[in-house]
């Protein structure tokens, strides 16, 4: 299985070619911060400064920790489809590792539509961002996610279903974070779901809330969580 940095390196960089900070490093810091409870780009920058010695154990950081403005620009303009594709590769590998099966045959996949509370488009305060998500119900993992155009869950659900190999799976359909501009809300939602997937699959017996606190307080636990992203994929050697 690819490392976290290798996976994020496949996401196109929306910034100019002279950007100071490496995109993969920005996304790894943002992901680590989210594991520790960060909710905003300011939180991510604060986390990076507080944990810089730890982060330098596995990141180069030639220009130090990105500012909150840098995190904000990245998430505003990052292509959600490309980001979600990288996310989906990881969740598919997690599902295979947890179930011992390749693919989704024999699993229950739930299609769920949700509004991100308060994530509204500028000038349309009554229209929150609406996402449709596919869950692997038994493993409690998010497999894929799509923005619902005009809040049309049917259109987004069809796109989500088309992204997955559902041969042999049982599909059910129901089951609705505030960022203000561009793609930020959708990209941050993807990042949070990736973090929650990892926290839920971690064997530590603490509650989800306890794991988030532990990740923030204990550097070795955070490193252990990040190391799980390197766990071998079924039928492959370690990346």
Q: What is the 3-state secondary structure (H, E, C) of 166-181?
A: CCCCEEEECCCCCCCC
Distance CA 32, CA 108 (A): 29
- The pLDDT assigned to 38 comes to 93
- The pLDDT assigned to 134 comes to 76
- The pLDDT assigned to 26 comes to 94
- The pLDDT assigned to 234 comes to 33
pTM, entire model? 0.66
- The pLDDT assigned to 30 comes to 95
Distance CA 13, CA 79 (A): 9
Distance CA 235, CA 137 (A): 23
In sequence order, the β-bridge partners of residue 114 are 131
Report the chain's C-alpha Rg in angstroms. Answer: 17
DSSP designation for 229 = T
- The pLDDT assigned to 43 comes to 94
Residues in the chain, pLDDT under 50: 1, 115-127, 176-180, 231-239
Distance CA 37, CA 33 (A): 7
- The pLDDT assigned to 105 comes to 63
Encode pLDDT of 95-129 as tens digits: 666 555 555 666 677 777 664 444 434 444 444 56
- The pLDDT assigned to 32 comes to 94
- The pLDDT assigned to 177 comes to 39
Which pairs from 118-122 meet CB under 8 Å and 24+ separation? 118/177, 118/178, 119/177, 119/178, 119/179, 119/180, 119/185, 119/189, 120/178, 120/180, 122/180, 122/181
- The pLDDT assigned to 117 comes to 43
Q: What is the mean pLDDT of the chain?
A: 76
| Residue 5, C-beta contacts closer than 8 angstroms, at least 6 positions apart | 24, 25, 28, 59
- The pLDDT assigned to 129 comes to 60
């Amino acid at each position: 299985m690819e490392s976290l940095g290798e996976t994020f390196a496949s996401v196109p960089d929306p910034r100019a070619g002279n950007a100071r900070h490496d995109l993969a490093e920005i996304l790894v810091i943002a992901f680590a911060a989210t594991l520790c409870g960060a909710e905003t780009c300011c939180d991510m920058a604060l986390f990076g400064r507080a944990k810089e010695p730890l982060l330098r154990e596995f990141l180069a950081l030639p220009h130090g920790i990105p500012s909150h403005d840098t995190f904000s620009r990245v998430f505003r303009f990052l292509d959600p489809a490309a980001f979600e594709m990288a996310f989906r590769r990881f969740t598919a590998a997690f599902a295979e590792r947890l179930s011992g099966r390749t693919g989704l045959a024999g699993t229950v996949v739930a299609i769920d539509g949700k509004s991100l509370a308060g994530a509204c488009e500028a000038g349309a305060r009554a229209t929150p961002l609406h996402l449709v998500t596919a869950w692997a119900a038994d493993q409690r993992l998010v497999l894929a996610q799509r923005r619902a155009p005009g809040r049309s869950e049917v259109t987004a659900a069809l796109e989500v279903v088309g992204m997955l190999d559902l041969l042999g799976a049982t599909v059910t359909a129901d089951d609705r974070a505030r960022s203000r501009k561009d793609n930020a809300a959708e990209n941050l939602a993807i990042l949070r779901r990736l973090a929650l997937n990892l926290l839920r699959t971690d064997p530590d017996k603490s509650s989800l809330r306890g794991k988030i606190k532990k990740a923030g307080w204990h550097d070795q636990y955070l490193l252990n969580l990040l190391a799980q992203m390197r766990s071998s994929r079924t039928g492959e050697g370690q990346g």
